[in-house]
Structure 1
Amino acid sequence: MIDILNRELLHMEDKLKQKNITTKINVAINAVAHADPNSVRIVVHNFLTNAIKFSNRNGLIEISAWLEDDESVSFCLKDNGVGMRPEYLSTLFKSQVTSATGTENESGTGMGLLFCKDLIEKQKGKIWAKSALGRGTELCFMLPAGH
């Protein structure tokens, strides 16, 4: 998990610097998932892209991964950006959503998280989000643990 995360953070370094966003990483060494690495990479990339898009300048993105039990690994990415209304949050993984504009007019398609849901569920995992308007969003997934 840490290798994928580090690669994606390096890939997004310019965008993070552009908005002066700090990342705080807490990934357990034993957070290893039994899943297709490319699928996990796509989901992590999408989570990061969304967090940057909806973070304000000088924001913070907290990324954590841990062994939930012997059976599963959890990964969460939390920003302190604009957040979402409950009615918007409830549609995130159900269908294409109308993509909101980012804090500096970044655009999107509204398909990203729906695609992420499909990738995670194909790996026998689950995906979810929590958000509070004006306080940020937390995107998470859980996958079977690798041994």
Structure 2
Amino acid sequence: MTPDDEQGGNQITILLIEPNPGDTRLFTESFKDAKLKNELYTISDGDAALDFVNQRGEYAAKPRPDLILLEPKLPGKSGMDVLSELNNEPALQEIPVVALTSSEIGEDIVKSHGFDADQYVQKPVEAEDFVNFVQEIENLWFAIVQEPSSEE
């Protein structure tokens, strides 16, 4: 798949799991500003995130995400709990998970607690950096889907 294929109508469904309303707003606005063909859903806690990916309750009619952006520090079930459930459920373990960290040190801390995401991306600090961040996420998606599976 190439970016041109993306323009052809293949839409990426992204689930953002982020408890900070300010960061959620910046993500949402940046995705709109970048004019990417993505469908972005936002959830602010771990319990709702698991309901969303499992298509339970109020999320029963929502699509299963193609990519999950996960802030490890969540109210309710932690990001670690969410990731563990995703990894232990065969139908969900194929969904790439990108851990959002606040710094390189944050990434080391998250990894030291056994948080094993597919990728780690540092969240931007400045609002104007979010559009570049969104482009980085799209590029990361293309890299993930083009990566040959070592298990096949």
User: TM-score, normalised to structure 1's length?
Assistant: 0.28
Higher share of residues assigned strand: 1
Of Structure 1 and Structure 2, which has the larger fraction of its residues in helix? 2
User: What's the TM-score once normalised by structure 2's chain length?
Assistant: 0.27
- Flag the structure with more relative contact order, 1 or 2, with Cα contacts below 8 A and sequence separation at least 6: 1
